[in-house]
């Protein structure tokens, strides 16, 4: 490690955990099961038993995490009924939940780098089928490297 690397190391984060959006998000949906349940919802899997089967998750854990996702307003319960069957609950994304789409896509894009070729899934534009990628851009639309950004306190005014 060079002296310039040591000089650039910070002893404390510039934003307290209590005032950090990343920390708030991690506390709300940072649990592995919650992220996997959200993944299912983004793939369109909304029925309890289908989610449970896909994830191999216990009923108690799934019920607990779905209750939490509903409580924070990311998912909502929706009744459905198949022909000649009793009414059941599906769990669908709310508008607040759909806002997590960019986060989930960023995780997919990042995670794809750890998968071997042939097992990766592209993010594509629905109308054209052309691959897309998430990037950080400034107010002028110019691409920015993540090393060139910093997080600072802004005013809500």
Domain ranges of the chain: 19-148
Residue 37: predicted pLDDT: 98
Assign 69 to helix, strand or coil: helix
Domain 19-148: state its class: mainly alpha
At 32, give phi and psi (nearest 5°).
Answer: -55, -45
Return the sign of the alpha-carbon dihedral for residues 50, 31, 29, 151. Answer: negative
Residue 103: predicted pLDDT: 94
Average pLDDT per consecutive 10 residues, the chain (157 residues; last block may be shorter): 64 81 90 96 96 97 98 96 88 97 93 90 92 92 90 64
Residue 8: predicted pLDDT: 66
Return the sign of the alpha-carbon dihedral for residues 39, 42, 48, 53. Answer: negative
Can you name the residues that pair with 65 across neighbouring β-strands? none
At 151, give phi and psi (nearest 5°).
Answer: -105, 125
């Amino acid at each position: 490690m060079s002296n310039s690397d040591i000089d650039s190391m910070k002893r404390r984060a510039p934003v307290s955990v209590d005032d950090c959006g990343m920390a708030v998000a991690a506390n709300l949906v940072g649990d592995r099961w919650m992220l996997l349940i959200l993944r299912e919802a983004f793939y369109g899997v909304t029925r309890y038993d289908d989610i449970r089967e896909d994830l191999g998750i216990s009923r108690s854990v799934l019920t607990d995490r779905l209750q939490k996702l509903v409580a924070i307003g990311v998912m909502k319960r929706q009744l459905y009924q198949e022909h000649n069957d009793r009414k059941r609950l599906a769990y669908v994304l709310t508008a607040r939940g759909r806002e997590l789409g960019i986060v989930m896509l960023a995780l997919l894009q990042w995670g794809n780098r750890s998968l071997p070729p042939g097992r990766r899934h592209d993010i594509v534009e629905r109308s054209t089928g052309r691959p897309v990628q998430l990037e950080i851009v400034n107010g002028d639309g110019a691409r920015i490297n993540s090393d060139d950004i910093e997080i600072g306190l802004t005013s809500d005014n």
